[in-house]
Amino acid sequence: MLLRFTKMHGLGNDFMVIDAISQRVRVNADLVRQLSDRNFGVGFDQMLLVEPPSDPDMDFRYRIFNADGSEVEHCGNGARCFARFVRDKGLVLRDTIKVQTARGRAVLNIVGRDLVEVDMGAPELDPVEVPTSFTEKSTTYSTQLASGETVEFGAVSMGNPHAVLVVDSIEGAPVESWGPELESHAVFPNRANIGFMEVISKNEVNLRVYERGAGETQACGTGACAAVVSGRLRGLLDSKVTVHLPGGDLEIEWLGEGHSVNMTGPVSSVYEGQIYL
């Protein structure tokens, strides 16, 4: 089978994007792992699949697979790439695109040639729904690591689970050690994305994210949203925040509980490809 795809990235968070509407595609975990290998495959953080929606009010179904083959609920950088992809391929002619995800709906707005705004929906703050093992809602939670250290974090779902830690500096943050341990910690029954946030001012933060199933990435859109939500709930941030990630900047706006999170950022196409499977 010949599979056509587009390699894209949002701030260095890279994707293999596949049109599963005009070509027949069968995806399983083994295939995703094979294609994600940066030495023997295409190489990517996530695979994005464009499918017909089952919801008649939506334009597309949007599926995301991590490099380890696991299917996940949402990806902010991927959503921006998705919007640019379906517009460039002529699968839709509008600049506002409604997509069905594993955990609900998202609205994508193309606001420039390489700039996309995403209505990410309202964050889920109930710890049971994030999900975590905690039952009482709070702005922060704490747990112990294997080393005996106690870690405090905010818990937010942006369609996928996030823990947000506030650190003095992202340069010295223990991303490589705490990231994988917290990702699969018992307090997160579905695992979690782990964000390390350095607050510069009420309107500016630095962020590194250890993504569930992918490791540390150059940027994480849902992670940026979760960080701003958690920071705002803790009284550290205002409603509009610039999030500096290793791959570049995202603009995040959240007015507070009951409101959607809006994310605006760039997207780039790298190349068109095809591979025999």
Cα four-point dihedral sign 214, 127, 104, 219:
negative
Q: Of these residues, 47, 165, 220, 233, which one is catalytic? A: 220
* C-alpha to C-alpha distance for 198 and 173, rounded to whole angstroms: 9
Amino acid at 109: N
Q: Judge contact between 94 and 234, C-beta under 8 A.
A: no
In 120-225 the beta strands, taken as DSSP E runs, fall at 141-144, 150-157, 161-166, 193-201, 204-211, 215-216
- Which residue is catalytic, options 49, 75, 86, 199? 75
**Cβ-based neighbours of 270, under 8 Å, separated by 6 or more:** 6, 7, 8, 9, 14
Q: Is 245 exposed, middle or buried (0-12, 13-18, 19+ CB in 10 A)?
A: buried
Q: For residue 258, what is the enclosing H or E element?
A: none
Cα 161 to Cα 35, 89, 101, 109: the distances in Å are 25, 31, 15, 24
Residue 81 falls in the annotated catalytic set: no
Q: Is 225 a catalytic residue?
A: no
SS (H, E, C) 90-129: CCCCCCEEEEEECCEEEEEEEEECCEEEEECCCCECCCCC
- Given phi > 0 = left and psi -120 to 50 = alpha, else beta, which region is 256? left
Residues annotated catalytic, as ranges: 75, 220
